[in-house]
Amino acid sequence: MTGTGARGGREAEARTGEPRTGEKVTAVSPANIAFVKYWGARDPERAVPLNPSISMTLSRCVSRCTVELRPAGAADEVLLAPAMRPAPEPFAAPVRAQLERVRRWAGRKEGLRVATRNSFPSDAGLASSASGFSALTLATARALGRDPDREDRAELATLTRRSGSGSAARSLLGGFVEWDVSESGVTRLRRLAGPDDWELRDVIALVETEPKPVSSREGHRRAHTSPYLSRRLELLPERLRRVRAAIADRDPAALGPVVEEEAVDLHLIAMSSRPPIFYWRPGTLRVLEEVRSLRRDRVGAWATMDAGANVHVLCVPEEEEEVAERLAALDEVVRTLRDRTGAGPRWDDEHLL
């Protein structure tokens, strides 16, 4: 089974055989926006989720990650592009842990030099960990002589989510992706529809560009303390069915309301956890109000938020202009980003190192 749909990069495609010191590999991997949220983990360290989730892979919000092979035993180095400064420890520590995990999996000993850059603000609830860790895992595996395109998808997904970011596994595939989990905790990735089957637009209203107050890993841990978690889990099978059907029917009006219910429930669980987590900012509510006002004006737009204050507004391509204009006009919106359904990770010859 093919590991990912990673495309492109002539130089990368031509690489075969033993990896050589100094060789560089670059992966570009997208963020994704969850329609049915992963919130609550059976095992937060290994990112084994409590519930199945469904997301849409994005196209423009991406992480670019270059990995360079160093001699065996050399220390790993983590740099932030474009300044090429060593990454601060809270960023570098989980990256180094993932490098070590991939190195052990590949059975290699070489040191690794890594540079990474996002096309969008990090840590603002825009799934920078999903794009970042999927790009890092793919580039590292390839730099160490493995070919992610030929690896077993489940194995690659497990390796990716072991980074601690479960949603990173969903970014390995393009289009609309379900991340299923069985009663016994075995997870499986499944593409529900490809990027060319249906194109949705995602206008992201940034109301906050500071890092979120509590990490999603901590949020998953605290979810169990919410008295409403069990009710949410009861409601999920029906929601998953509705989202799968809406994707199969390419029906935004069927998809939108479930996606909004899901977003509100994720934040309801966060706010009712002990201690509570408030990701929303006043601007979040202002955008939600504007989305309802758009619908009153017969523009099909639906809002969702991951673990952060910023709002993703989903619509069909014909409505994007109107949605973007209305959101950009709000005082509380710092900036809008425009994204769309994307094709998944790719290899690239433009290295950061």
Q: How far apart are the first and last CA of the chain?
A: 32
Cβ-based nearer residue to ligand PMV, 24 or 118: 118
Min CB(298)–ligand PMV separation in Å: 30
Cβ-based nearer residue to ligand PMV, 31 or 246: 31
CA dihedral 100, 101, 106, 108 (to 10 degrees): 20
Cβ-based nearer residue to ligand PMV, 53 or 284: 53
CA dihedral 252, 118, 68, 26 (to 10 degrees): 40
Min CB(53)–ligand PMV separation in Å: 4
Spatial neighbors of 347 by CB under 8 A, at least 6 apart, are 6, 7, 8, 9, 12, 13, 25, 26, 27, 28, 142
Cβ-based nearer residue to ligand PMV, 302 or 347: 302
Min CB(264)–ligand PMV separation in Å: 13
Site residues, ligand PMV (CB under 6 A): 34, 37-39, 53, 127, 129-130, 165-167, 216-217, 266, 306-307
Min CB(33)–ligand PMV separation in Å: 8
Cβ-based nearer residue to ligand PMV, 4 or 319: 4
Min CB(188)–ligand PMV separation in Å: 15
Cβ-based nearer residue to ligand PMV, 208 or 306: 306
Min CB(113)–ligand PMV separation in Å: 25
Min CB(94)–ligand PMV separation in Å: 11
Cβ-based nearer residue to ligand PMV, 167 or 336: 167
Cβ-based nearer residue to ligand PMV, 9 or 219: 219
Min CB(16)–ligand PMV separation in Å: 33
Which residues share a beta bridge with 33? 56
Cβ-based nearer residue to ligand PMV, 66 or 310: 310
Min CB(243)–ligand PMV separation in Å: 12
